[in-house]
Amino acid sequence: MAFLVHDARGLERPLRPVGDEHGMRARRRLWRVDVLQALAVASVAVAIALFLAEGGASRFGDPGAALSSLGIIAGLAATGLVLVMLLLAARVPLIERAVGHDAAMALHGRIGKPVLYLLIAHGVLLLAGYAIADGVDVVAEALAIWALPDLPLAILGFALFLAVVVSSLVAVRRRLRYEAWHLIHLLSYLAVLAALPHQFSVGGLFAEGTWQRVYWMIATVATLAAVVAFRVVAPLAGSLRHRLVVESVLPVGDPRDGIVSVTMRGRTLDRLRASGGQFFIWRFLAAGQWWQAHPYSLSAVPRGDHLRITVRALGDGSATIAGIRPGTRVAIEGPYGVFSEASRSRRRLTLVGAGIGVTPIRSLLESATFRPGEATVVLRTPAPADGWLLDEIRALCRSRGATLLTVPGGRGRGWLTDAAERQGLDLTALVPRVAESDLYVCGPRAWAEGVITEARAAGLAPEQIHHERFDW
């Protein structure tokens, strides 16, 4: 008997024999991640090696020169890592598909502080080194350095970068609106541009005819080109090509829950190459809304010329979605994320969702490859027959041969309800073959962490666990 799956255009196609297809795909993806990580490390290593090869190695003869050389190395490493950070945030398809948006942004965030420390070391070591070489104190040296061409601009670049890193510290970030935080983050591009001239003018390091000059010019231009191409040109071109327009905005469940489904109509949506579980960044081009963009997952995969998101009003931006009028144009960035088939590593599938986290679960269930009996959906719902998109998920489970388990009731101490815990239920009791499956989890942070802890205890490897976070 041949099984059928629905592809992104809504057409039915026979299910290909699965075999170890998922395992192979996961291995290929993880291999690409390794290559990208190696390239990032190599880019910094090459920069330092070029410096040492082009005279840097001979600059360790006396304490002053040695300190300045260490300062230069710290500066080169910091600059190289800043370019890596920009590339991680540039939404380059190769990085997005291999690493995933979340992981790329998490890595981007983790590099910020080390770069700051390297930049501080760069300034302090150079100042001390130059002061020793010139036989003056550091204050006199600081005044002399200030007069160097492009130095004030470089210091401005450092100050901007400092603002970006400080705005990302958890305690500060929590107090900022997303839009304010994002605006400060855009300063990092200005920081790079401000720091650039001193690299080429001070110390003659990147003088004409050096390999260092060639290397840094290529690295900087390529990185900035990637940012412009994938953060500006591609979204603009995509929005113009697909011409998405809001067709309907309908409440989901009890209107007091503040949840709406927005169905949009567009052109050539198959060319979006979006799959279930992925998200886009949406900008509704209506008065009072066009200036903010928010990430929302697909709650239904593109079918023909339609796609859909489902949004819960959790703040200013999401609360305005219910008031969007049919006919409103929509600009998009994406698709992003590997909370999708792209990260599958096993034949079996376990989808676990709670609250509004049900949206990517619903679309992933729609498009994932599995045979009847190989997928289980576990939903935390307020009541047995009451849950957002529950009817649709039930119908999909029925037609695709997936098992649906709802865990109704109030909160529990862990991710399950107290009643479920009293019955001795846990992830393995609910999904006995969970260890053989890919687990996709989406819901409130603490709740999702509870599921993931149990999954690890059940023996799932890291590549089997996929978590979509709705917060930042």
Ligand X SMILES: Cc1cc2nc3c(=O)[nH]c(=O)nc-3n(C[C@H](O)[C@H](O)[C@H](O)COP(=O)(O)OP(=O)(O)OC[C@H]3O[C@@H](n4cnc5c(N)ncnc54)[C@H](O)[C@@H]3O)c2cc1C
Question: Residue 443 corresponds to which tokens in the numbers above?
Answer: 């819901």
Closer residue to ligand X (CB): 335 or 412: 335
- Encoded amino acid at 330, one letter: V
- Provide the strand spans (E) within 69-152: none
Is 335 in contact with 255 (CB distance < 8 Å)?
no
Which residue number has the CB closest to ligand X?
315
- The β-bridge partners of 310 are 261
Print burial letters for 422-445: b (CB count within 10 Å at least 16), e (below 16).
eeebbbeebbeebbebbbbbbbbe
DSSP class of residue 383 equals B
Q: If binding is defined by CB under 6 A, does position 323 make contact with ligand X? A: no
The tally of CA atoms less than 13 A away on the side-chain side of residue 112 is 21
Residue with tokens 């609250």, as numbered in its chain: 355
Candidate residues 297, 350, 363, 376; the one interacting with ligand X per rule CB under 6 A: 297
Candidate residues 265, 294, 380, 466; the one interacting with ligand X per rule CB under 6 A: 294
Q: If binding is defined by CB under 6 A, does position 289 make contact with ligand X? A: no
The count of residues in the chain is: 472
Q: If binding is defined by CB under 6 A, does position 317 make contact with ligand X? A: yes
Is 227 in contact with 245 (CB distance < 8 Å)?
no
- Per-residue binding letters, 348-387, with ligand X (x by CB under 6 A): --------x--x----------------------------
Tell me the C-alpha distance between 168 and 250, whole Å.
Answer: 36
Rg (CA), the chain: 26
Ranges within 412-431 binding ligand X (CB under 6 A): none
Closer residue to ligand X (CB): 370 or 470: 470
- The β-bridge partners of 466 are 440
Closer residue to ligand X (CB): 77 or 448: 448
Q: If binding is defined by CB under 6 A, does position 472 make contact with ligand X? A: yes
Candidate residues 64, 109, 123, 295; the one interacting with ligand X per rule CB under 6 A: 295
> How many residues bind to ligand X according to rule CB under 6 A?
24
Closer residue to ligand X (CB): 45 or 319: 319
Ranges within 170-199 binding ligand X (CB under 6 A): 177-178
Min dist. Cβ of residue 369 to ligand X (A): 22
Closer residue to ligand X (CB): 117 or 472: 472
Binding site for ligand X (CB under 6 A): 177-178, 279, 293-297, 309-312, 314-319, 356, 359, 468, 470-472
